Amino acid sequence: MSRPRATVGPGVGRTGFVARHGLWTPEQADAGADLAGRIDSGEVETLRFSFADQHGIARGKALIGEAAKAALASGVSLPSTLLTKDTSHATVFPAFSKGSGLGLDELTGASDIVLVADPATFVMLPWAPRTGWVLCDVYFTNGRPAPFSGRRILKEALAPLAAEGRRLITGLEIEFHLFRLEDPHLAPEDATQPATAPEVSLLARGFHYLTETRLDELEQGVELLRDGLLAMGLPLRSAECEFGPSQVEFTFAADEAVASADRMILFRTAAKQICRRNGLHVTFMCKPGLPNLFASGWHLHQSVSDAGGNNLFAPDGEGDLLSAHGRHWVAGLIDHAAAAALLTTPTVNGYKRYRPNSLAPDRAAWSRDNRGVMLRVIGAGAGDPATRVENRIGDPAANPYFYMASQALAGLDGVARGQEPPPPTETPYEEADAPALPQSLMEAVPAFRNSALYREKLGDLFVDYWADMKQAEIARFLSSVTDWEQREYFEIY
């Protein structure tokens, strides 16, 4: 089978970029050759090259035929300003200043970055004829990895585990909302930045938690998503109706952390596209601003396996919740929970969920099978290979690479220090000594910025970049007049 040729043109990166910088493993090279063959045969006519930006939003280009084949060898060029945009798609840092205000000469002048496909992530998109999708890593044109690339950050966070033949195993449990799209607001006057939100209606009333009738009412959307995700090979395990109106939960089979993070990006991206094509709207916003809706969370199940596949969290003795290794990991997660919040819950909206007696945590504590704690231990006791810790802190809108990296770094710190967690609790909303979680994005920024662990492991450049990015989001939020302010002050004063 022929290797992809290194020819370039508009949209394609730099001639022979992948080989010149040695960016593919032999396995990736074989997968790239297979993908080039699919393009030659016409099976793949259009190939979407995507990367997950700093907010976990998929961005990229769609290349056709020979251009797609050339891009496998030479990468895909994109403007570097994509690394400096906030969630409104506005550029936060000064693109035309030297180093873009970040001290990175490679960003000066909105210059190019290069996407390099990981052919092992290739899937066909069942809703788009002869169209494939491949996830990419991000490089500067000199071959240096872009320092804000989430995939790279997660791989580096996992490197100490990999060096010992160990793996972080994660399982995804994601809540979200499915609506019928009534008006997408596509009139020119709606084309604001950010855009005018669409008008939607419910698919199901809710409040009948896990009832089959409510699930059947949601089936219009669930069936579309289920069929599309399974056709792409995503290991969907369950589809459930949550408590709130039009609220759904999907779970996926556990896998190694990078594969799980890749899966989350593909799931969210596919869900948005499948639903929009079928007159539906899916949102991973934590708490939509519509009447009677409930907040959604992203519960991240995690354990560590050794080179033989043994679960290092499984307790040895009866009555133990976790092994010593698992307890040390939990202690690290608790110790760094407040600082990690900017990575696990990166939106203003996500903090609306942290309320007492809400099935969401408001402080960093742990327990056996208690849905009010941040860290819920699940397992059948001594030797159970399915023993795991469910972190219930996450925002469904979080960048999955940042979220999982925060867990790996905090857990490994607890293990390295042999740290023991406080006693497990049965009263998660009454533990006065448990560290409080940030109650707003405004509280989360300084907690992250001042973290010695994350500065050491992620570097000052990334910590300041991400804190500054979120600080700009806060400034935009605080400059907006809210509905609450209008109701509170407009008539009385």
Each residue's pLDDT tens digit, 213-257: 889 999 999 999 999 999 999 999 999 999 999 999 999 999 999
- State how far the Cα of 148 lies from the Cα of 2, in Å rounded to an integer: 34
Q: Return the residue matching tokens 């060029």.
A: 77
Inter-CA distances, 287 with 59, 239, 437, 470, 479, Å? 24, 20, 18, 19, 21
Predicted TM-score of the model (pTM)? 0.96
Helix axes 400-416, 150-163, angle to 10 degrees: 30
- State how far the Cα of 289 lies from the Cα of 298, in Å rounded to an integer: 19
pLDDT of residue 135: 98
Per-residue pLDDT, averaged over 126-133, amounts to 97
Contact 473, 86 (CB under 8 A): yes
Per-residue pLDDT, averaged over 279-301, amounts to 97
Each residue's pLDDT tens digit, 392-428: 999 999 999 999 999 999 999 999 999 999 999 999 9
- State how far the Cα of 304 lies from the Cα of 312, in Å rounded to an integer: 6
Does the structure show a pLDDT above 50 at 33?
yes
Burial code (b: 16+ CB inside 10 Å, e: under 16) for 304-321 equals: bbeeeeebbbbbeeeebb
Each residue's pLDDT tens digit, 146-165: 999 999 999 999 999 999 99
Identify the DSSP state of 145.
B
Each residue's pLDDT tens digit, 355-402: 888 889 999 999 999 999 999 999 989 999 999 999 999 999 999 999
pLDDT of residue 6: 43
Distance of CA 291 to the CA centre of its chain: 27
Each residue's pLDDT tens digit, 48-64: 999 999 999 999 999 99
At 16 the three-state DSSP class reads coil
